[in-house]
Amino acid sequence: MPDVNQSQAILELSNLQKHFGALRVLDGINLTVPKGSILGMIGPNGAGKTTLFNVIAGVLPVNGGAIRFQGKDITKVSVWNRSRQGIGRTYQIPKPFSNMSVFENVLAAALHGGGLAMGDASFHAEEVLEQVNLAHRSETQAGELSLLDLKRLELAKALGSAPRLLLLDEIAGGLTDAECDTLLQIISDVSSRGTTIVWIEHVLRALRRAADSIVVLYGGKLIANGSPDAVLADKAVKDVYLGAGE
């Protein structure tokens, strides 16, 4: 990834540290994410990827370092306020309100995550469901959805808060190639509207197609950062993630 000056960056991580006892899950992470980009993130299981998302979103406190979002230090800002400032996320395992309708799920995100008034939140929820091709299921109970539609709903909930930075955590996992292609089209549309995306994913073909750049997390450190083709061809990346000799 080329150097990005502060005015072009939406997210800046400086010497980020997260420890669980003696275990250093994040050990000096330095990363700058340009506005409007799609940054892919890969690494073996246990590398610290989801922990990094939890730290960025404010779910976990840091043990050291700093997080700047849109030029402001948010290292000690609450989850609630980070959402209101424009950080949205999805989860590896979709977490819908199963006994609520699809529309009600997104409406709740717009009201509470985005801080919108009821009228604006309702209108925004309808727009988001159109965007993710889920409007036809708006009155369906979330617990009745297929995996692809659950993924769409997870994305819609994140978009309900109108994020400027969207953290996607393995949203393509478990989907067929055709379903993955459908999701890629939606993500491309989200990006084209100006939302910056950081995307953890094990489905590498999705990142090859969508990401502007990829970083690799291993042992709590970033070991590679560059274009998708360059990173995935890197010998160190193959050794620790893709498998030596592959």
Instruction: Determine the pLDDT at residue 7.
Output: 58
3-class secondary-structure state, position 3: coil
Q: Which two tokens stand for residue 74?
A: 């948010």
Residue 176 resides in a domain: no
The CA dihedral of 150, 78, 7, 187, to the nearest 10 degrees, is: 0
The residue assigned the tokens 């617990």 is 143
Where does the chain have alpha helices with state H? 49-57, 79-85, 102-108, 118-131, 147-160, 177-192, 204-210, 228-233, 235-237
Does the residue 180 lie in any domain?
Answer: no
Quote the pLDDT of residue 241.
76
At 46 the pLDDT is 87
Residue 68 domain flag: yes
CA–CA separation, 242 vs 216, rounded Å? 11
Tokens of 236: 């160190």
d(CA 97, CA 26): 31
State the pLDDT at residue 240: 83
Instruction: State how many domains the chain has.
Output: 1
Within a domain: residue 118?
Answer: no
Give the closest residue to 153 by CA, choosing from 169, 165, 164, 137: 137
CA–CA separation, 53 and 113 (whole Å) = 17
Length of the chain: 246
Q: What is the pLDDT, as a whole number, of residue 156?
A: 97
Does the residue 126 lie in any domain?
no
Residue 100 lies in a domain: no
**One digit per residue, pLDDT tens: the chain, 246 residues?**
445 555 589 999 999 999 999 999 999 999 999 999 999 999 998 899 999 999 999 999 999 999 999 999 999 999 999 999 999 999 989 989 999 999 999 999 999 999 999 999 999 999 999 999 999 999 999 999 999 999 999 999 999 999 999 999 999 989 999 999 999 999 999 999 999 999 999 999 999 999 999 999 999 999 999 999 999 999 889 888 766 433
Closest CA to 49 of 64, 39, 36, 37: 39
For the purposes of burial, counting CB atoms within 10 Å of the CB of 128, is it exposed (0-12), middle (13-18) or buried (19 or more)? buried
Evaluate whether residue 196 is within a structural domain.
Answer: no
Assign residue 65 a region: left if phi > 0, alpha if psi is -120 to 50, beta otherwise?
A: left
Residue 4: give the domain boundaries: 1-77+201-246
Question: Has residue 149 been placed in a domain?
Answer: no
pLDDT digits (tens, 9 = 90+) for 149-171: 999 999 999 999 999 999 999 99
Tally helices (H) and strands (E) across the chain: 9, 10
Positive or negative, the CA dihedral 136, 139, 145, 147 is: positive
- Say which CATH number the domain at 228 has: 3.40.50.300
Q: Which pLDDT belongs to residue 239?
A: 87
Question: Residue 159 and residue 177: Cα distance in Å, rounded?
Answer: 24
Two tokens, residue 44: 């073996």
